[in-house]
Structure 1
Amino acid sequence: MTEQKNLEVSGSVMDGITEKGMALDSPSKKGNVEYIAYPIRWLVLFIFVFYSASNAFQWVQYSIIQDTVVKYYGVPSIMVYWTSMVYMVTYIPLIFPASWLLDKAGLRVTTILGAFGTCAGAWLKVFSVPQDMFWLGFVGQTVVAISQVFILNVPPRLAAVWFGADQVSSACSIGVFGNQLGVALGFLLPPMLVKSTGTMEEIGHDFQLMFYLVAGFTSVLFVFILLFFKAAPPTPPSAAADLGSTIDSNFLQSIKTLLMNRNYVLLLISYGLNVGTFYAISTLLNRVILTYYPGASEDAGRIGLVIVVAGMAGSVVCGLILDKTHRFKETTLAVYTSSVIGMIIFTFTLDCGLIGVVYLSSIILGFFMTGYLPVGFEFASEVTYPEPEGTTSGILNAVVQVFGILTTLLYGWMLDEVGDRWANLTLCALLALGAAVTAAIRSDLRRQAAQNKA
């Protein structure tokens, strides 16, 4: 796949470059430039998808079987919830050095580091099966959580480095799809592998099997990454990627520029509210479902699976829509508003007494709420271009973790104090606020402007 492009930079794109205080020779000064999207880009992307999935799987590995973990290890429920929240806590201080490393060292170095940490943490859990060794499992979980900082901000960067202008949004969606796939399997497999009704010996054997499977899979992936994952193609795949590759970015200056960007700041708030709500529901889903359907641990896992799988479908659909229409604000606002509606439906069907109805409402909620993830990533890349995608998405995810921690703690407290109905209505209100903030974002599509001037 090739395209010949001449690029002239003007308007908001040049404004963004001027803010950085850089002189830049655009690709147009090179004469006719041939841009090639190399076939190996698909191998690189799908290796990343499985690598991201192997890390995301472990996020809810304990919390979705919270009742079994409490029974087997004899730890309080709050400790089990912290196995999920540790992902959020570790991300906040570490994302800035991780974003700097991605900007300076490139995709291959950061991916190798993340894959090694994900694998090492999984192996620590293998040795945490004895009932007095929950602390070691928590250490392993923390190592995996730290490794997440080398994953979440990669999809927009990988898409921009490897894919042409007509595929960049779809590629980003597929990259985010990996995280969603891991979360989906994290909801599905632990309740199937670790049965809460067995004896202590049987539960211990189930934990051992689950931990070995994850450790083995992450080990194979680590080897694949060492052998096949490349940092960048020999030549840029698009005019926008070519322009971005010529910029010698200053990390601190990039952060300052991003935080002065009104549209980006508004997107930080709206994205944080949406994904923070998703984190709260995911972390406490087992508890919410068991409130109305006692003994339905496997159903809680399957409902989580339904939410994420529907979101995976939503991600792909939204990515295709963005590539075809390039209407980023309109798509973002439509998806966000639909998330509010989905959350309201979920809230008022939980206590209907028919768990099949809860499955259906979860499909609606998941399609839009988790389908929003890549849309937010791509919108951020558009309104902040030519700032490095790794830094843009890194700050976005750091804010998400803050919102995730606060929302999860608020949701858990409200479940204790006022019950699930008011707790869920509060999440509906937060999503409605996020939709209003999204409506205030201007459609300043800097990356599209650069590409369209070609």
Structure 2
Amino acid sequence: MMEKQIAEKLPEGQLLTKSGSKLPIKAYKRRWWIMFVFMYYAGINALQWIEYSSITAIVVKYYNVSTLAVDWTSTVFMVVYPILVIPASYLIDKKGVRLAVLVGCTGTFIGTAIKVLSIRGDMFWLVLVGNTIVSASCLVIVCLPPKLASLWFQANEVSTACSLGVFGSQMGSAIGFVLPPFLVHDHDNLEDIGSNLKVLCWVLAIAMIPPTVAVFLYFPDEPPLPPSNVQAVLRENKVQFDTKVFFLSIKDLFLNTGFVIHLCGYGINIAVFSAIGTLLSQFILSFFEGANQEAGFMGFILIIAGMIAMLAFGILLDKTHKYKEIALFNYFFAGVSILCLMFALKYRLKIMTYVACILVGIFTNAYMMVGFEFGMELTFPAEESTTSGIMLASSQILGAIFTISLGYINLWLGPFWALSTQVVMMFIGTIATAFVPNDLRRQEAFRRNSPEYSVRKASYHGSRPMFIE
């Protein structure tokens, strides 16, 4: 009854309100350009997460620091995130997507450029400064894929578009495993290593110029017309941003029991992936001495396999809407894949190590997008950027703890037992995911095609319920 009273779906793709006015809907071709630009600079940002960890031994030699110090070039991404995630979400919700994109892209360019000046044996601190700025910029990058997907793409494209947004960061991480070992080689002469590092830093700084210029020239807050009925009604009922209500909406997220359970499971999964990714080169070199480039390539195929799986799972989610089932399947086999990696390394089976890396990528890496989308379903009509920000905050807090702990366990007990702790954590996360209620609120809104749900979302950050008149 409410559905008929509020609005009805028109065959030509418009929404008719009670007053008879039409809300036009259009999916612009430029949405693919918007997504490409985002993927490009998000990839360069993500590359720097693993930039130095993929050549740990060489960095240790050049800067005369410990392996744990090099681990901090990656760990800083996880430490900064929970500190600044609320301000980042606030910026996106209050000021819009364009400003968030400008901050993320410009910050990445500045942090990348600073590291060009770090090529000297006593300048490792400047490496950390540059990576800290890049990691702070990452805050307004990783929250954006679900937001961009909902703002620019049709209802049946949202999960696929979100996977593309995450795809950019994953591609950057993959390149981060192979580009540094390809450009930076171990030399007896430290000046030769410094020359290689300078080339690496200049390549990344120059690569950041095109997306930074593109973002300044064109990257709007939203398309002129909405791409879906939900977005149409959101615009029709747009309310002024309220800081108090913003923080109350965060409180509501933590009162959502299903989301809190999923938050714990998501945090564990991504933390395990971050920890293993950071130390993967050290693990592999412990069993295959001198295989620096092969270690980089194993990390590369791990990420590439995850990217392909991410796109496949995104399409599968759009087709089936089996969010919990796919998340649970993904989680369980992620634990199994790490178990395979443990034994492949222990018995020095190089081909099986490659296969295990592929499996880890497929099931662990791809979970980032699957978990994102499941979280959006559980928290509708909450703002996507806020939900994703909270989810990533939990993963980064745990990621920092897991990475630091894994580094010490690796030093004390070796890679096999270090990896075994991550297998245990993955199976704990699988059990947690099994207890998450299968509450698909967003899909119910799409299924019923009811503006009632859209209006609830539109008024979520307002002070009172609103309806289309």
Q: Which TM-score applies when normalising by structure 1? A: 0.92
Shift of the 417–163 alpha-carbon distance from structure 1 to 2, 3 Å rule, reads same
Which residue of the partner structure matches residue 272 of structure 1?
267
Name the Cα RMSD after superposition.
Answer: 1.7
SS in 2 for 1:350: helix
- Cα drift, residue 129 of structure 1: 0.6
Q: What is the 5 A alignment of 1:343-362?
A: 343-362=338-357
Query: Is the CA contact 2:23–2:232 (under 8 Å) kept in the aligned structure 1?
Result: no
CA distance in 2, matches of 1:186, 1:8: 51
Which residue of the partner structure matches residue 34 of structure 2?
44
Query: Is the CA contact 1:83–1:138 (under 8 Å) kept in the aligned structure 2?
Result: yes
CA distance in 2, matches of 1:97, 1:114: 13
| Per-residue CA distance 1:347-388 (angstroms, 9 max, x = gap) | 111122232221111101111110111111111111111110
CA distance in 2, matches of 1:235, 1:6: 24
Shift of the 153–357 alpha-carbon distance from structure 1 to 2, 3 Å rule, reads same
Letter in 2 for 1:315: M
Letter in 1 for 2:346: D
Which residue of the partner structure matches residue 465 of structure 2?
none
Instruction: Give yes or no for the alignment of 1:388 onto 2:383.
Output: yes
| Per-residue CA distance 1:216-237 (angstroms, 9 max, x = gap) | 0112210011112221011211
Query: Is the CA contact 2:346–2:416 (under 8 Å) kept in the aligned structure 1?
Result: no
CA distance in 2, matches of 1:395, 1:202: 43
- Cα drift, residue 338 of structure 1: 1.5
| Per-residue CA distance 1:392-434 (angstroms, 9 max, x = gap) | 0000011110110111122112212222222211111111111
Which residue of the partner structure matches residue 84 of structure 1?
74
Which residue of the partner structure matches residue 146 of structure 2?
156
Q: What is the 5 A alignment of 1:55-134?
A: 55-134=45-124
Please identify, of 154-163 and 33-42, the stretch whose mean Cα deviation from structure 2 is larger.
33-42
Please identify, of 166-175 and 334-343, the stretch whose mean Cα deviation from structure 2 is larger.
334-343
CA distance in 1, matches of 2:208, 2:177: 18
Shift of the 349–231 alpha-carbon distance from structure 1 to 2, 3 Å rule, reads same
User: Among residues 347, 353, 362, which one is paired with 1:367 in the alignment?
Assistant: 362
User: Among residues 325, 331, 347, which one is paired with 1:330 in the alignment?
Assistant: 325
Q: What is the 5 A alignment of 1:190-201?
A: 190-197=180-187, 199-201=189-191
- Cα drift, residue 243 of structure 1: 3.8
CA distance in 2, matches of 1:387, 1:247: 14
- Cα drift, residue 35 of structure 1: 1.8
Shift of the 243–410 alpha-carbon distance from structure 1 to 2, 3 Å rule, reads farther
Which residue of the partner structure matches residue 399 of structure 2?
404
CA distance in 2, matches of 1:291, 1:51: 33
- Cα drift, residue 390 of structure 1: 0.5
Identity among equivalent positions (%) equals: 40
Shift of the 130–196 alpha-carbon distance from structure 1 to 2, 3 Å rule, reads same
Instruction: Give yes or no for the alignment of 1:288 onto 2:283.
Output: yes
Q: Which TM-score applies when normalising by structure 2? A: 0.90
Letter in 2 for 1:267: H
| Per-residue CA distance 1:18-44 (angstroms, 9 max, x = gap) | xxxxxxxx9744645432111111100
- Cα drift, residue 111 of structure 1: 0.5
Query: Is the CA contact 1:156–1:389 (under 8 Å) kept in the aligned structure 2?
Result: yes
Instruction: Give yes or no for the alignment of 1:136 onto 2:131.
Output: no
Which residue of the partner structure matches residue 213 of structure 1?
203
Which residue of the partner structure matches residue 294 of structure 2?
299
SS in 2 for 1:315: helix
Letter in 1 for 2:231: A
CA distance in 2, matches of 1:83, 1:74: 15
Which residue of the partner structure matches residue 435 of structure 1?
430
Query: Is the CA contact 1:90–1:146 (under 8 Å) kept in the aligned structure 2?
Result: yes
User: Among residues 170, 179, 185, which one is paired with 2:175 in the alignment?
Assistant: 185
Query: Is the CA contact 1:7–1:450 (under 8 Å) kept in the aligned structure 2?
Result: no
CA distance in 2, matches of 1:29, 1:171: 32
| Per-residue CA distance 1:65-91 (angstroms, 9 max, x = gap) | 110001011112221110100011111
Query: Is the CA contact 2:259–2:375 (under 8 Å) kept in the aligned structure 1?
Result: yes
Structure 1: unaligned runs, 5 residues or longer: 10-25
| Per-residue CA distance 1:213-265 (angstroms, 9 max, x = gap) | 00001122100111122210112111222344435462101101111111111
Query: Is the CA contact 1:6–1:28 (under 8 Å) kept in the aligned structure 2?
Result: no
Structure 2: unaligned runs, 5 residues or longer: 8-14, 450-469
- Cα drift, residue 59 of structure 1: 0.7
Query: Is the CA contact 1:7–1:27 (under 8 Å) kept in the aligned structure 2?
Result: no
CA distance in 1, matches of 2:148, 2:310: 17
CA distance in 1, matches of 2:444, 2:89: 25
Query: Is the CA contact 1:240–1:447 (under 8 Å) kept in the aligned structure 2?
Result: no
Instruction: Give yes or no for the alignment of 1:174 onto 2:177.
Output: no
CA distance in 2, matches of 1:123, 1:305: 24
Shift of the 346–243 alpha-carbon distance from structure 1 to 2, 3 Å rule, reads farther
